[in-house]
Structure 1
């Protein structure tokens, strides 16, 4: 997008000309995106996968293959239409015969140009790492409430060849459609981070599908990682006033620190500011300025799946450069490991730490003012038919954990003299 002027880009956004060449959406005239990314109803996804495509998914689960889908919601039904489908997940990847997560690609292969309500794709998470089934909905809601560009969510019943697979969460896909809605300037690149990789020298290596940072958007226009290389250079500057100024030039600094605050408040150890340095995107605009986008928020709100004890909670220090996560002793043989480089630097530079703590205070207040606990209760009520005793207990524990976390934030602010 580097060759598109910012003025022309603004006009495109205003008049919707970016999507002018796409195919007619297959949605019912009465369906809308709020049917699929809202908190008041459960929609239904019916996948028809023929024998050849079943074989393809069993052999290569992360490769797209052809299927048919019908999307039913309170606004009506789309009717059946063709789509690409694949399975998703890393440690959570399951076979088609189980309850796998799915990615639908409406414009796959010869379906190029096809959209559903303007969307190119749909992400259906099986919530296999969230015993409560409310973590993702609550976490993304809090990110959005704090002005962080984050996906919206909705619940879905997913059927495959007539068999109910169960309840899923439909998480808005972070792609060029998402970016065009959240940002008013051209996107240069969208980078997808890999676990335990950080903004270290050399991590700008590789092509768009290789290296520590994959390029999900922008490679066809700008086939290099020069913007990422510059961000890495800034990240590795000596912490101080010059670093702080450069951070303001090359990142949306305020939103970045605010994102760190939300991640810590919800106990997101599987994030950039967590010890696994995972689950985030880096989006650069045409001037090389980066915004971070959160992802993978299922293992949050203190759920501890490492132990067989039901109802126990996991906490980590919100102001420590090194922390643990539930499996840290098994994987690293020590109780704590370093967190994301930018977050570590923030804790050591007073203006940044003060801003972070101030944002942490704001996040805790937003959880109250936005009635997040009520939203979690309502979400639990919406999905009650899928919630067994363990799920209901985890839902209650998650809500209570958040209230305890607010007390932890208050204590941290008091310790640091933040009023």
Structure 2
């Protein structure tokens, strides 16, 4: 077992390395290099619109924990809990920090975290997905879907939040995120991390458009490791198309160049790709592209160039190995009065 002093020294070094990477990124940006994953001002800094400021203040504030109050038919909610693996949407009303919506879709979500809670006899504290536009044309300040993550197996409740914060500091295209208290039918259900779903608002904010090809890497198929499987797109079942259009054979061209060529910059945003790999390596997030499962990332094609998008960090900081924040089942998902477990 690693001694505490050795572990502290290791993570101090990791922290210093990360600070160096962030400083290097800032130096590159101030030196005139373009930041391709966001709209930038004259000094190379990201321009924040009035709409985004409102989003930061009212939906994803970092200076307070807001309330998300969900009202759902009791029978529908019980059916959702009893059949959580089905991940079927139910209809609910939602008050999100004072913004009221009817006809919102809600369902359970997750992979390992979902399966684990299903197997527990002493917990029903699932992660949830809110889909504001599931049944009617409505958004929450432009956001169509928000994930309410239960911080599975994380005693600190900070793994995912801190990793997204580091991602943001590194200049990567990071989803909006903040802590919330979730209430269901008047009962405090728990302390959650709200994370913006990769969607139109996110893409418009970070790339200036939302019409490019979007894919998600999933472990259940083949090709999510981005290796060459030939020019038949149907062979890449692990790269699931999430956009309405695919932009022809652009994905095949990127994979061909990545595996068989050398001009990577033609099809890949190399700085963001290196930043993504560095972030996952430094936080030891093995439930990602750098791990055995090759999953939990998005690829977005912007004018022929693919960027890798950071996603799903509940297993960061050695969560797969249990080296940080290990805890018992009762501690993980109890719904105490403070909402924190």
Give the structure-1-normalised TM-score: 0.58
In structure 1, distance between residues paired with 2:315 and 2:216: 19
For residue 317 of structure 1, what is the aligned residue in structure 2?
Answer: none
- Separation in 2, partners of 1:274, 1:39: 30
Q: Give 3-state SS (helix, strand or coil) of 1:179's partner.
A: helix
Give per-residue Cα distances to partners, 1:287-342, cap 9 Å, x unaligned. 3210000111111123465479959xxxxxxxxxxxxxxxxxxxxxxxxxxxxxxx
1:198 aligns with 225
Deviation for aligned residue 1:253: 1.0
| Superposed displacement of residue 195, structure 1 | 2.2
**1:48 match: secondary structure:** strand
**Counterpart for residue 96 of structure 2:** 71
2:143–2:201 CA contact under 8 A, matched in 1: yes
How far is the alpha carbon of 1:200 from its aligned partner?
A: 2.5
Structure 2 residues not aligned, in runs of 5+: 1-38, 40-46, 328-337
Give the structure with higher Rg (CA).
Answer: 1
Answer 1 or 2: higher relative contact order, Cα 8 Å, separation at least 6: 2
What's the TM-score once normalised by structure 2's chain length? 0.71
8 Å CA contact 2:154, 2:325 repeated in 1: no
CA gap of 1:168–1:310, structure 2 versus 1, over 3 A, is: closer
Instruction: Output one character per residue of 1:154-174: Cα deviation in whole Å (capped at 9) or x when no partner.
Output: 001111122221100001211
The CA distance in 2 between the partners of 1:66 and 1:283, in whole Å, is 30
CA distance in 1, matches of 2:154, 2:325: 15
Q: Could you list the runs of 5+ residues in structure 1 that have no partner in the other structure? A: 1-9, 20-30, 312-384, 389-419
- 3-state SS in 2 of match to 1:188: coil
CA RMSD of aligned residues (A): 3.3
Question: Which residue does 1:369 correspond to in 2?
Answer: none
Aligned mates of 1:126, 1:309 — CA distance in 2? 14
Q: Say yes or no: does 1:147 pair with 2:167.
A: no
TM-aligned CA distance change 1:266 to 1:307, over 3 Å: closer
**Alignment match of 1:179 (pick from 185, 194, 203):** 203
**1:285-300 correspondence runs (5 A):** 285=302, 287-300=303-316
Distance in 1, Cα, partners of 2:101 & 2:200? 25
Contact 2:298–2:310 (CA under 8 A) maintained in structure 1: yes
Distance 2:247 2:107 in 1: 26
Separation (CA, whole Å) in 2 of partners of 1:308 and 1:121: 30
Partner of 1:103: 129
Distance 1:215 1:307, change over 3 A: same
Task: Return the alpha-carbon distance in structure 2 between the equivalents of residues 42 and 296 of structure 1.
Answer: 21
Match 1:214 to one of 235, 240, 258:
240
Instruction: Say which of 240, 244, 247 aligns to 2:264.
Output: 247
The correspondence for 2:102, drawn from 68, 76, 81, is 81
Indicate how the Cα distance of structure 1 residues 56 and 215 shifts in structure 2: closer, same or farther if over 3 A, else same.
farther
1:232 paired with 2:259, answer no
User: What whole-Å deviation, never above 9, does each CA across 1:317-370 have from its counterpart, x for those lacking one?
Assistant: xxxxxxxxxxxxxxxxxxxxxxxxxxxxxxxxxxxxxxxxxxxxxxxxxxxxxx
Match of 2:57 among 34, 37, 44: 34
1:92 aligns with 2:108: no
- Which of 238, 257, 282 is 2:274 aligned to? 257
Contact 1:154/1:170, CA 8 A, preserved across alignment: yes
Kept after mapping to 2: 8 A contact 1:143/1:262? yes
**SS at 1:79 equivalent:** strand
- The alignment of Structure 1 onto Structure 2 pairs a total of residues equal to 273
Looking at secondary structure, tell me which structure has more helix per residue: 1
Distance 1:115 1:298 in 2: 26
Q: Once superposed, which parts of structure 1, at least 4 consecutive aligned residues long, lie more than 6 Å away?
A: none
* Map of 1:115 onto structure 2: 139
Work out whether 1:272 is the aligned partner of 2:289: yes
**Conserved? CA contact 1:267–1:300, under 8 Å:** yes
| Cα separation, 1, equivalents of 2:55 and 2:301 | 30
Distance apart, 1:81 and its partner CA: 2.3
